[in-house]
Each structure stands twice: as structure tokens, then as C-alpha cells.
Structure 1
């Protein structure tokens, strides 16, 4: 196969995985399975990108090509399955769960077989990538062994009772469970499900048969229940009678509250919004009844709740009050009960005084006065720095979205600095990291501060990105958001502390293969080489560690090789610290495997005796890298002897 065809094959695989990842309408009953499959395939992208790039500079063995063709074939049924699940009825997915799960098992087995057949020893990819692919294989094998363990038997039993018409007409608890778990609680959801069922009837040739009629009957039962339970639902999206005003004027039509202000269970404006452990917000009384009914999952996401306690959402309560005031509606009043039950109660470790203090600060964050925002963000910054208890309480109260908003909305440099540093301090708590990145979408705002903020704000933004990038999935999101170029700028132009913050962030981000090319294109290598030759910079250790990572990328090898990196690396192997010797040797392993001229250059600089000494007396990592280099020299000499020209001869020709 010509090199161009191999490159095209690798690009086709990349395009297929990206297309699979773009299928985001994962239907409620199979959402977890679809998300897991999509996420695992996305983890293969760095390897496929590396293979594609290597097609331009080295030969890909036919054995690898055959394995990649097998992987390509296995992606087709994976894409078809995810597309199918995203288009069919939610009710159908429950009723046909066994059939659908068999399809997932087959797709998983095909992918596992294809990935297991790739001869990774014949690919010049980093150890990190090999470990990443091995992780995907482990997850796929675990999924194959799990089979149908992830079934929601209660949902299946409820839907079957409705399908077979054996459920009681008045069984509102069952209907509520089904409506919530299938996310059929709004007119939009119900209409979409009706349209999907109609499409399925059309694709059957116009003969719906008994099964489609029964599914339509199930949907009608759910719709009747939802509309009976929420009699004003049909008024959406035009007007909705406020539950707060019914006792005063049952005929008064009021503006519809934003969807985020309404409880996902009752669909009514929330009076006392509280956050459960999944991060979702509900009306306290509604989630209390749900939990007291013995349910252990989040009604909206179906995630298993790690705790049955909840935390008041002070930020949302404040926003609801502001919305009511602007629409001339009496703000909702909370029940007077001062001692709520343990289920659906505030976190017991946070006192009323602390809650009131946080609520006061969040009210200030939403103020139109910059001085209020500045003082509140500053206080939250200090509170979040003190201990993990404060970090949990502040995040659970809904502070993060308000802080994220200040990153881009406020032009006050001090407010930006306080806000980004507050997010940094909150991110120290592991459970807050995902909320900051995905629930609150903080990364673009942090990157904005990194580009345009004051020096202290930029430094703390860099430290925040490092903290968030501890989670592998976040490395991808941060790189995609454009964080790498301003980090490189900070590494070049920042204060000593700023350079340290930028270096740690870049090191962590470049562990992900897909970010290495971005870093090289952002001009990281010249900055690194300057730091290495300016010993007074105090950045030698960090710079060498970063170079050891990005030199594994084809672009990194090319740019580093052209920047006289071989000469600098040999000097570090000769007189550097053990850690610097390790990283310098790692750089040379990458460079010498890419271009044989670097072997010749290193030999000319007298590296052989240094490698022998390192192989005998160095650290474990030094010994491994020295052995790799000595092995490359040995193989190169053998090749040249066969052609009648040794390394010494080639050196004499330079």
C-alpha cells in the first residue's frame, strides 16, 4: 500500500471516530452505554493521529495496515448502533433492551478483537499512548464480561406493565417513575417521542402492527399522567400559571419561568431549590418524596446518588427571586420548618451561619455594583483556600457559575483575579473539577483571563488549568479551548512564578498526545531551548521535562532537531543532575530514532563513553534510556558495516 494510501486510511479512522463522537443524542435508557462507547473510542484518537503523522516519515508494516483495516470495519457497526439508538423510541429501547444489549455486546467484541490485533511493538508510539490503548482494551473486556448487569429492572418492569396493560390506571407512582427515567416530563419531550414513534411506523411500511399500537398506548398513558399532574403543561411555551399565585388568582396567566428555574420533577417554579450529589437541582419537597420512596438514583440523569443529603442552591434561589421581582411576581417563600429531615436536608457539616454567609456572598456576586462583586469574590477566594469543607460547601451552593461569569463579563482586573483564584482554590477538591469544567463550562473563561488578565490573574489561570488537567478528559477540553498558545507566551514572558505555573500546566497538558502538536505549533520548542541555555532562568528542570515529552511527537522531533538540541542534550548527560540526565537521554532516544544524522552528531560529541557510564552507574531510568541509545548505535553500526561505511567514516565526512 502506497504511503499516501496509508495516510488516507489513518485519516479515515480519525474521521470515523470523530463522527461517532459527534452523535450526542444518547437516549435515556441507553445513555450510559452510548456515552461509554463514544468516550472509549475517542481515547484512540491520539494513537491514530500519531500513526497518520508517522506515515509521512516512516514505513508502516503491512501487518499494521491489515490490523487498521480490521479496526475500520469494526467502527462501522459501532457508528450504526449509536445512530440507531439516537433515532428510535425511548419506550422501544426499554422493551427491546435484550436485543439492543446484544448489539452493544457484538460491537464491543468486534472493537476489542480489532484493537487486540494491532501489533503495537511495530509502531513508534509513546509508552503513554500504549498504556492509553491498553486501558481502552481493559474497559472493553470488562464491558463484555458485564453483559446485562447495568439493566434498570424496575424501569423494564414498569414499562412492561404499561405495555401489557396490567398496571393500575391510578398507579401514579409508577407513571411518575417511568416519565422521569425516560425524561418524558415536558411537552417537547413527549412530542419528540410521538414523532419518533411515527417515524418508526413509516419505516415499517405503514403497517404499525400490535407492538407499535401498544407503545403508542404506553406513551399516551405517560402523557395523560404528566398533563394531569401538571394541568398547565399544554400552555407551554406561551404562558404558564404560576403555582405561587394559584391561591390568589387562579385565572392569572404569568410569564413562564426559565426552564432552569423549574423543578425537573414537578415542572413548577422552585421555592426551595436544593442540589443532590449528582449536581442536579430539585425542589426540596419533590426530591424529599423521591428519596423517601427508596430511590437511590438522580431522577434526571439516572446516576446513582453517593449521598441522600442535599445542599441549598443559594445562587439559583437568588436568581429566581430577581426574576420574580423583574416580572412583578411575589418571590417564593420557603417553608418555615427549621429542621428538615435527614433526607433532602442541608449538609450536616455546614452550620446555618456558614450557609447564611455564603448566601450573602453569592447575592453580592450577582450585584450590579463592581465593589460588591470584588469584595464577595475576594472573600470566597479566602474561604476556598482555607479547607476542603469550605470548598465543598461553596461549590454546592452554586457559586462556580457566578464566578465563571465574572471571568468574561467583568472588565475589573481585580474581580477577574479574585474569580479565577477562587476557581483555582475550589478545584483543589477533586469532586469539584468535573463540575467546573463540564457543568459550568469554565475553561473558555479561564483561557480568556490567561490571555488578557493581569499578570497575577494569568499566573493563577495557568495554575487552575494545571489543577483541572489532572483528569485526562480535561486535558483534551483545555487543549481544544486554545489554552496552549497563551501558556507558551506566559512561559516566555512571565515572572518567575508565572513561568513555573505555565510550565507545570504545559507539562501536564502535553501528556495527552493530541496537545503535543498544538504546543510545537505555538512555538514551545524555541522557548524551551532558550530556557535550557539560560541557566540563570531557574527553569532547566521544568524545560527538560517538557522537551522529553514533546520530542516524542513528529513535529517536536523535527523542530528540536533543527534547534541544535543534540548538542545541548549531550552536555546535560555529561554534567547534569540525575533527573536532567534522564530527560536529556529520553530526548535523544526520540531524536535518534527519527533521524540517523543525530546519531552521528551525538557520536561526534563523545556520547558513547557517557552512555556506557550511565548504563553501569545511573538511575534505573538512566540505565533504560542509555541501553536504548546504545542499542540504536549498535544497530546503526551493523547496517553501515553491511554497506561498508561505519559511524567513524561518516563522522569524517561531516
Structure 2
């Protein structure tokens, strides 16, 4: 199989070299060569470069790029191209004006509140989209004839990337990674930050150009930009924006430079960079393999520091990231070791981050070391106060989860819990009226109290 793929790559490279030589001759011999000739030469050169240096970021991106190169190397019939995206239509539909468009793009146009035909500018009598089976059949036959496989329509965001957007992204990437002007590179990084925030298509483009992340991050090692906090902040925020797109999470997480950049920003960046870095780690950690990588690379210490000393927004981002990371058991011990229990308890006492801190402590309450720290600190008075006074059902639930673990791990606290229950009866109330989880934990505490009292009475 490997030999077959190597042979295919060699044959493809030879074909690209021949095509590139032909195009260079045309450009050299004809001073009035069409702009399309230059574009074709650029495409062939880029494809040859990709074949030579390859991509280590996954088969999906590589195969997608290969299909795109096929499309670009042949003349596509104009009536197969969507007027909005300038790409081959995957799902051609007819609008009331009689014009044919690719469904995702015209649907996006209509969803944005437009009620005119993009081509004719005439007001539409209705917004019904009728499948154009004839054009679809013609496109299918043409693709088979030219050995082109169109990407599936499963990922709607990827389908909504236009040819112009791909071109704009490539130009911007070139500006960032290859410009000789530091000022232009900084401008390019800022532009990409804004575009990936506003335009979901720019977030999706990474999917078929996964190696572009390394190109982007390489700018941080450029003399004059290395150590520039403004550039670091823009790059961290761009990574955050890209990580919002689901299919990018693994691509970003697999890049050897991305997570280390976020951790470095957590340590030494501006407060906004630290906050956005925590937010990016939270988003990336929704992918299970990323949870372990982020924990192993040492992010937890800096997230706990941010939870304690950050701005209000940064604290929320840090809390969200810590919670998500602790969904993996391996990261719970790391969080406890880095002091998250005391930081979370202090936040509850200070009334600065009650909801998030209770959620973290409830998640960690399955860890005996964490429960011991909660019990030895101000944990018991805190959770009893929440159970008595809080009007938030979710906070009561998390508090009783923590209390249950304290009662299971530390029998010396049972008397204090029992005295509070005799005076206020809130655990009994939760056993009857709480959420299903709160009812289970409250009932478990009451049963533990009953058994303890019975044993004491029997021993007397």
C-alpha cells in the first residue's frame, strides 16, 4: 500500500513539473499572458510544494487538498459553479428567479434576511428551493469522468467556504509568514484575528489547510516579533477563534506548537491573552485526547493561578477550563496538587465565583485527597451555608454532593452535620424536593447520620 501511494505521489509530482514547465514557457514567451495562466502556475507550484514537503496533520486534510488540486487543474464548466461560492455545486437548487445555486450558500443568503436573487437582484416571489436534478446529474457524470470526488455535505460550515475566501486566506497567510516587513506581519496577524472572529468560513478553512497553523505560529519566532505581547495576544485569540469550529479541535490540538503557545500566554501574556488562552484550552478540551495533552503539558498550575488572581472574566474562563480538564480523572490529581481546592473555597467565601467553584469542587469530590482538603479547610461551613441560604438549585445540588463526600470520608464531621440538620432540616428538605442527584446524595447523608446515631446508642 505504501509503495502504491509513493508511486502515485511520484507520478503526480512528475505531471505537476511538466505542467509547471509548460506554464512557465507560456509566461516567458508571451508578455501578454492571461492572468489565469499565472494563477494556474501558482496552483501547480503550491501543489508540487505540498507533495514534496507533505502534511503531518491528518489524512482528511491531505485528501481534501488533493481533490481540490484536481478541481483546479481542469477546466470546470461555468454552469457547474455556484454564482456565490465560485465552486462546484454539491447540491444545486433552483431559486424562484430561475437561477441555480448551491443549496448551502443560497440558504445562508436567505437566512441572512435577503429576499432578492443574488444574480438578478429581483425580489423573489417565494423562497422555495427546488432541486436541479439535471445539473446535479451532469456534475456527477463530469466528476466521475475526471476522477474528482466532491466533499460530503455533512459539515455545513466547511461547505460554506467560497473560492474568494480561500484565496483571501492564502494571501493573508502569505503576508503573515513571508512578508519582509514586521509591520505588515503584525497587521496580517491582527486581520486574521478579526476575520476568524467575525467570519465562520475563515474558521472552517483550516480544515483543508491544516499545515497553515504551523505557518501562522512560525511568526512568533521571527526576530522583532518574538516576545511581542500584542502579537502573542492576537495569535492566542486566533487559536481561540479557530478552536470554536468542531473539526478544528483535533487539528489544533495535534499541532506541536499550539498548546505550548497557549500555556506560555497563560504564564506571561497580557490579561486578555491569559483569559483568551484559558478560553481556548476550555474549547479544545472538549476533545478527549486534548484533555490529556493539556494536562500533561502543565497547563493546570497556570489555570489555577488565573482562577485566583485573574480579572473577573479571566477567572470565569479559567474555571471553565479547569472543570472541563478535570472531566479526565488523570487531571484531577493535578488540579488538587496545584491548590485548586483552597482557591475555589476562597472564591466561594468571597462570593466572587460561587457557581463555578462549587461545580469544580463537586467534580473533585470523588478524589479522597481533595475531600480531605475541603474538610480540613472551610469546606464544611461553606457547603452547609450554601445548602441553607442559596436560592440556586444547581448550587444546592453541588453543595450536597460535596457534603456527601465529606460525610463518607471524614466521620469526625458527622456531628456538626447532624447538629445543623436538627436545627435547619435542609438536608431532609433536599431529600424530598431537590434534583434527582441532590435527592440521592441527601438521602445518603441522612442514612449515614441515622446509622451513626444508632451505633452510638447501641454502644452505650
TM-score, with length taken from structure 1: 0.48
SS in 1 for 2:60: coil
Residue 519 in structure 1 maps to residue 301 in structure 2: no
Partner of 1:584: 399
Partner of 1:280: 62
SS in 2 for 1:605: helix
**Equivalent-residue separation in structure 2 for 1:342 and 1:230 (angstroms):** 14
**Equivalent-residue separation in structure 1 for 2:441 and 2:267 (angstroms):** 38
**Equivalent-residue separation in structure 1 for 2:9 and 2:169 (angstroms):** 38
Partner of 2:260: 444
Residue 416 in structure 1 maps to residue 228 in structure 2: no
Residue 561 in structure 1 maps to residue 375 in structure 2: yes
How many angstroms does 1:287 deviate by? 7.2
**Equivalent-residue separation in structure 1 for 2:202 and 2:342 (angstroms):** 42
Which of 389, 394, 397 is equivalent to 1:575?
Answer: 389
How many angstroms does 1:621 deviate by? 2.8
Partner of 1:477: 293
- Closer/same/farther in 2, CA of residues 424 and 283 from structure 1, 3 Å limit: closer
CA contact (8 A) 2:243 2:252 kept: yes
SS in 1 for 2:425: helix
Partner of 2:184: 372
Which of 247, 270, 275 is equivalent to 1:431?
Answer: 247
CA contact (8 A) 1:408 1:448 kept: no
Which of 290, 294, 305 is equivalent to 1:489?
Answer: 305
Partner of 1:116: none
Alignment of 1:319-334 (within 5 A): none
How many angstroms does 1:378 deviate by? 1.4
- Closer/same/farther in 2, CA of residues 412 and 631 from structure 1, 3 Å limit: same
Q: Which runs of 5+ in 1 are unaligned?
A: 1-176, 186-224, 233-241, 249-259, 293-306, 309-338, 645-654
How many angstroms does 1:399 deviate by? 3.2
Partner of 1:361: 172
- Closer/same/farther in 2, CA of residues 349 and 589 from structure 1, 3 Å limit: closer
How many angstroms does 1:551 deviate by? 2.2
CA contact (8 A) 2:213 2:255 kept: no
SS in 1 for 2:61: coil
**Equivalent-residue separation in structure 1 for 2:435 and 2:162 (angstroms):** 52
Partner of 1:343: 148
Deviations 1:172-204 (A, max 9, x none): xxxxx56246xxx4xxxxxxxxxxxxxxxxxxx
- Closer/same/farther in 2, CA of residues 559 and 178 from structure 1, 3 Å limit: closer
Residue 179 in structure 1 maps to residue 3 in structure 2: yes
- Closer/same/farther in 2, CA of residues 562 and 430 from structure 1, 3 Å limit: same
Partner of 2:214: 401
Q: Which runs of 5+ in 2 are unaligned?
A: 25-47, 75-88, 91-141, 152-157
CA contact (8 A) 1:288 1:343 kept: yes
**Equivalent-residue separation in structure 1 for 2:173 and 2:19 (angstroms):** 24
Cα root mean square deviation, aligned? 3.8
Partner of 1:541: 355
- Closer/same/farther in 2, CA of residues 408 and 510 from structure 1, 3 Å limit: farther
**Equivalent-residue separation in structure 2 for 1:633 and 1:428 (angstroms):** 47
How many angstroms does 1:623 deviate by? 1.6
Which of 325, 337, 353 is equivalent to 1:509?
Answer: 325
CA contact (8 A) 1:490 1:502 kept: yes
